Amino acid sequence: MRRIPIVSFIMLVLICFFISAICGTNRAFSQSTDKITVVTYYPSPYGIYDSLKTNKFAIGSSATVPNSNGVVTFQGLTGGPNASGGSLYYDSSGEFKYCNQAGGCNVSSDWKSLGGSALGNWEVKSANTVYLAATSGLVCAYTPSSGTAVGYTDSNNPPTTVRQSASLVGSGSQSITMPVRKGDYWEVTGNPSAVYWISF
């Protein structure tokens, strides 16, 4: 029988030991990477999007998410004139409407036109009658010959501040145009032929 030298036997044992160690390490490594946890954000906090669609939107950490679809709510500017914020939407009439959050956005009269749209409808009014302006607008009146028209508007009921006046003696006609602020009272006294109101 052929004998294996002791040195060769020791080398054979060491080789087998290293092979077993390597196989065991690979097995342990493969077992430790079987479970991977990935955390994602959708949409991500930062990034550029090709398209993004939402029913309602709130801008600012303290802004309240609106109840109605199509409304954007803004956080008020810290230290600004309206720290309570506000809301904005596009009306079916083709104009933007905004609302001061401090005043509430519950009824249609809370929403105001952002501007850049057509005026409201002309309304026929009566002379020597006090009106409360639900919105801001203009009062127009004209006088016939030998007629007078005096326009009053302020926060009093009846209003006491004269803003426009016209008096004509003889033939022809003369008119007045008077702006009125929302929430103020207004009246045209005298004997004008017609008095008209149009809202902003």
pLDDT in tens, 115-124: 655 678 899 9
CA atoms within 13 A on the CB side of 86: 16
CA distance 42 to 46: 10
CA distance 111 to 89: 9
Cβ atoms 56, 71 nearer than 8 A = yes
Sequence spans of domains, the chain: 57-113, 123-199
CA dihedral 175→118→121→94, nearest 10 degrees, is: -170
- Per-residue pLDDT, 68: 84
Asked whether residue 7 carries a pLDDT value surpassing 60, the answer given is no
pLDDT in tens, 151-195: 999 999 999 999 999 886 666 788 999 999 999 999 999 999 999
- Per-residue pLDDT, 33: 57
- Per-residue pLDDT, 28: 47
Cβ atoms 141, 196 nearer than 8 A = yes
pLDDT in tens, 21-78: 555 555 544 455 567 776 666 666 677 778 888 898 888 888 888 888 888 888 877 7
List 90's β-bridge partners, or say none.
Answer: 96
| 106 band by pLDDT with thresholds 50, 70 and 90 | confident
pLDDT in tens, 81-102: 556 788 888 887 777 888 876 5
